[in-house]
Amino acid sequence: MVKSRRSLGKALLVFCAIASITASAQSVDEPVRFRLLSLFGSLSFLYETEDGPKRMYTSSSSFSSWYEAPDNRRLNFYREVPAPEPELPPVKHTLADLTLPSGPGPFLVVLMKKSDGEGLNSIILDHSLEAHPPSRYRAFNFSKRRMAVRLAEQDILLEPSGSALVNYPEGRKTWLKIAVDQPDTGWIKVVSKPRPVDNQTRSTIVILDIPPSVRDLDPIGVIVREVREQIVEGEQGSTLQ
């Protein structure tokens, strides 16, 4: 009887060890996910995967669908352009080449035009629920100027390239107010808008400068992008849709 119990105990230990190894392998083998946000309009291009090229779509009004990174985490975004000679296959024209950082992710890749208009600059952000929990605003200042932000009854000073997390308020509506620090005139209010509140979400707010134009070479105002993501609560906790 004692030997039988010892044998059973050893078998259980072996089974638990195998299960643990299997679970770890599955966790390691899970592909790293990412999504995109364009800061200047809709985009469509290709990137390479283990199964061949895949077309991607992104816009400035919403996040893209989820995409899976290759094992080496390198992302080469490109378009195909006609070859100089018609009988040759199309030529790859690289828009951006980047590598996702280590860690489980998921990640958000923010895309911006380069100053010369050729290609894309990118910023890679940790897009996990740990970095941006549910029922939070996450505000980014991609302007070259300082921003004084009042959001959900909280006051924030955002330096250029700065960010902040703000809890959702009680109620179904809040206000977003932004003032810009102008070198010549000081602080000028440029945004004052209500925002709906949905507790089953999280919201990303991006503030950026209005591009100069012939009519206005140095715009004072800003562009504000806000994207909400649905959070689903299940047996294994919160997940992103």
Instruction: Determine which helix (DSSP H) or strand (DSSP E) holds 69, and give its type and residue range.
Output: none
CA dihedral 158, 144, 108, 121 (to 10 degrees): -170
Does residue 30 contact residue 8 with C-beta atoms inside 8 Å?
A: no
Q: Is residue 178 part of a domain?
A: yes
Mind giving me the DSSP string for 123-185?
A: EEEE-STTTS-TTEEEEEE-SSS-EEEEETTEEEEE-TT-EEEEEPPSSSEEEEEEEEEETTT
- Which pLDDT score is estimated for 26? 36
Do 31 and 108 lie in one domain? The reply is yes
What number is the average pLDDT over the span 60-81?
Answer: 94
Do 144 and 236 lie in one domain? The reply is yes
- Which pLDDT score is estimated for 234? 72
Tens of pLDDT, residues 185-217: 899 999 999 999 988 899 999 999 998 889 998
Helices (H) and strands (E) in the chain, counts: 1, 17
- Which pLDDT score is estimated for 237? 66
Q: What burial class does residue 119 get, using C-beta atoms within 10 Å of its C-beta: 0-12 exposed, 13-18 middle, 19+ buried?
A: middle
Q: Is residue 48 part of a domain?
A: yes
Instruction: Determine which helix (DSSP H) or strand (DSSP E) holds 104, and give its type and residue range.
Output: none
What is the total count of domains within the chain? 2
What number is the average pLDDT over the span 26-34?
Answer: 73
**Residue 19: pLDDT above 90?**
no
Q: Is residue 22 part of a domain?
A: no
Do 118 and 149 lie in one domain? The reply is no
Domain limits at 153?
132-241
12: pLDDT confidence band, cut at 50, 70 and 90? Answer: very low
Retrieve residue 177's tokens. 């107010």
Retrieve residue 158's tokens. 């955002």
Do 164 and 219 lie in one domain? The reply is yes
Q: Is residue 192 part of a domain?
A: yes
- Which pLDDT score is estimated for 189? 94
Do 79 and 184 lie in one domain? The reply is no
Rg over alpha carbons for the chain, rounded to the nearest Å, is 24
CATH code for position 198: 2.60.40
- Of the three residues 113, 128, 143, the one that is the final residue of a domain is 128
| Mean pLDDT estimate for the chain | 86
- Which pLDDT score is estimated for 20? 42
Do 41 and 120 lie in one domain? The reply is yes
